[in-house]
Structure 1
Amino acid sequence: MSTSTQDAAELAVVQPLRPEQRGRWRGFVLPVAAVALWWLLSSLDVVNSALLVSPAKVFGTAVDQVASGRLWRALSASLAREATGFLIGTASGLVLGALLGLSPLFNRIVGPSFNTFKQISLFAWIPLISVWFGLGDVAKVVFLSLAALVPVVVNTCDGIRTTPAPLLEVARVYGYTRWQTVTQVVLPAALPSIFTGVYLALIYSWLATIGAEYLLVAGRGIGNTLIEGSEHFQMDLVIFGMFVIGLVGWLMNASARALERRLARWTGRSS
């Protein structure tokens, strides 16, 4: 190995982490500390072992759930409901939000009713949905669609209505038609706000999935795994289910943020 290569290797070893790299690892400090405290308390029997099971027991339950296929069956059912409700709610929200933002007449007629509708707590719809649609997958999908609908409508409408006036003035000067103004000026300007609504719909619909499986208990799902664990006082199964829910939510959040960054770069290059 040449001297220059050795120097480069030594520099790579001793070179400190950049600030952004150090910040990336700081997020692991609290989870690692929490797991260490959890392990310590469970090993010292400071807390009743029936209430605070050990990490080793939770890990054993995780292995059993994965090996038996129960995790995949429950998780796939939950994700299928979440995806269906998210797509229905997002598509409906984009249409309704665009109409509210683009049509003053439609906004005057429908806007007050929608503003009242969005003030109603999501879980207040559960009794009505259960009566109309039962306790099966259809009721859960309807519930998830409502969870995804509101943030998409609000952000789409706001994004369209807050299009910068100079952009609209430029479109007027160049003689754009109404359709050209909407497709080439208004929608591109509203795209960040629209994506924020879609991002919130993705997160809210996943949270609502767990709530729906708790309150509309018929069928399989990761929420029903939590119910099963609590009913049989299997705290290892409950904690495992919570870890799975948090991990899936984190993956959704990370994927949406990565897509948002790519979209921002794409719109920046195209503008």
Structure 2
Amino acid sequence: MPQVNLLPLPLIASTRAASNAIPGRRLRRFPGLYRWLLPAALLALWQAATSQHWIAAQVLPSPYEVWLTLDYLATSGDLWLNTAASVQRVVAGFAIGSLIGLVLGGAMGLSPTLRAYLQPSFNALVQIPVLGWFPFALLIFGIGEPLKYALIAHAALVPVTLGTMQAFRQAPQPLIEVARVNGFGRRQIISAVVLPAAVPVLFSAFRLAFTKAWLSLVVVELIASSEGLGYLIVYGRQLFQLDLVMASVVVVGAIGWLIDRGFTLAEGRLLRHRLTPGARP
């Protein structure tokens, strides 16, 4: 005989809705918890693979061994010295590439004639990866620090140039016409109308450029360097110390995540400030 539910239908519906809302309520209470589910699962899988000997320890060291290596690098000071060298290179290369990208992208965005001459060649050249320029840059700059700065600057140059050109081309034409009617000159229009409207696109371009610069830094240090996080990876591989390799990879990923997180927070604050009523551009 089928079981009869004596609860009224509205009460059943409300009970089910309340039970279904519990996970959503928990997520609202801990909004950042779900972000760590996948990293925690990967870490547990890594620990299980090493403890159960699914993968040989010579191929994949355990998380505890990697932690001990990180602790040793931090205690000895090698971690901070190599991290400082990498950060110095990426900041210098990013600054150089961004400055050139702002000038070049702004010129192409404001001048249709210059854009018609330069954009086709630029679009063709940017398809060449950073490593494709390495032999030519090696002949020009040698094996020293200028080589690394040049390749990192190239990686940052492309997103900033394209983003600046797009931002300047998308400047609001009605506001530009109003500024011209009020007697604004070209420089005043750029500073008072074009640049404030281009800030969100430029910020996204800078964020992408710094990410590209950081990735290129590691690649450059893998090839030609005697210090830096990329050098630690190569050094560990040559000595077959995979705990050192994994520790360096963890540091590279953590720094990259922190940089991206910083840009995300700064971009969010910038957009909230621009959307706030009465906020000045």
The TM-score with structure 2 as length reference comes to: 0.86
Figure out how many residues of one structure are paired with residues of the other and give that number: 256
**SS of alignment partner, residue 220 of structure 2:** helix
Equivalent position of 1:244 in the other structure: 251
Deviates more, 1:159-168 or 1:18-27: 18-27
Q: Structure 1 CA distance, aligned partners of 2:123 and 2:213?
A: 20
Following superposition, the deviation at residue 119 of structure 1 comes to: 2.0
Percent identity for Structure 1 against Structure 2:
37
Q: Matched residue of 1:242: which SS? A: helix
Sort the Cα spacing of 1:260 and 1:226 in 2 relative to 1 into closer, same or farther, 3 A: same
Q: Is the 8 A contact 1:86 1:145 kept in 2?
A: yes
Range with bigger deviation, 196-205 or 255-264:
255-264
Deviates more, 1:171-180 or 1:36-45: 171-180
Change in 2 beyond 3 A, CA 1:97/1:127 = same
Aligned partners of 2:27 and 2:33 also within 8 Å = no
Partner Cα separation in structure 2 for residue 199 and residue 55 of structure 1: 31
Where do residues 1-271 of structure 1 align in structure 2 (5 Å cutoff)? Answer: 19-216=27-224, 218-268=225-275, 269-271=279-281
CA deviation vs aligned residue, 1:183-213 (integer Å, no higher than 9, x gap): 1111111111111111111111001000000
Contact preservation (8 Å) 2:221, 2:228: yes
What amino acid is the match of 1:200? L
- 2:52 maps to amino acid: L
DSSP-derived class of the 2:32 partner:
helix
CA RMSD for the aligned pairs? 1.8
Q: 8 Å contact 1:137–1:219 — kept in the other structure?
A: no
Q: For 1:30, what is the secondary structure of its paired residue?
A: helix
How far the C-alpha of 1:18 sits from its partner, in A, is 6.2
Q: Work out whether residues 93 and 152 of structure 2, in 8 Å CA contact, stay in contact via their aligned partners in 1.
A: yes
Cα separation, 1, equivalents of 2:115 and 2:51: 61
The alpha-carbon deviation at position 95 of structure 1 amounts to 1.0
Q: How many Å separate the matches in 2 of 1:52 and 1:179?
A: 59
Q: Distance in 2 between matches of 1:61 and 1:71?
A: 10
Please state how far the C-alpha of 1:143 moved relative to its aligned partner.
0.4
Q: Any conservation in 2 of the 1:136–1:219 contact (CA below 8 Å)?
A: no
Gaps in structure 2 of 5+ consecutive residues: 1-23
Counterpart residue identity of residue 270, structure 1: R
Compared with structure 1, are the counterparts of its residues 191 and 72 closer, same or farther at alpha carbon in structure 2 (3 Å cutoff)? same
Shift of 1:56: 1.2
Secondary structure at the aligned position of 2:248 is classed as: helix
Q: Does the 8 A contact of 2:163 with 2:201 survive in 1?
A: yes
Give, in whole Å, the separation in 1 of the partners of 2:71 and 2:127: 43
Provide the rounded CA distance (Å) in 1 between the counterparts of 2:108 and 2:28: 41
Q: Is the 8 A contact 2:160 2:209 kept in 1?
A: yes
1:3 is matched with which residue? none
From the superposition, tell whether residues 186 and 29 of structure 1 become closer, same or farther in structure 2 (CA, over 3 Å): same
Kept in 2, the 8 Å contact 1:82–1:209? The answer is yes
- CA contact 1:101–1:157 (8 Å) conserved in 2: yes
Contact 1:230 1:238 (C-alpha < 8 Å) held by counterparts: yes
Q: Deviations over 1:124-177 (max 9, x none)?
A: 001111121122211001000000001000000000001133322332343432
- Decide which moves more: 144-153 or 218-227: 218-227
The 1:255/1:231 distance shift into structure 2, 3 A limit, reads same
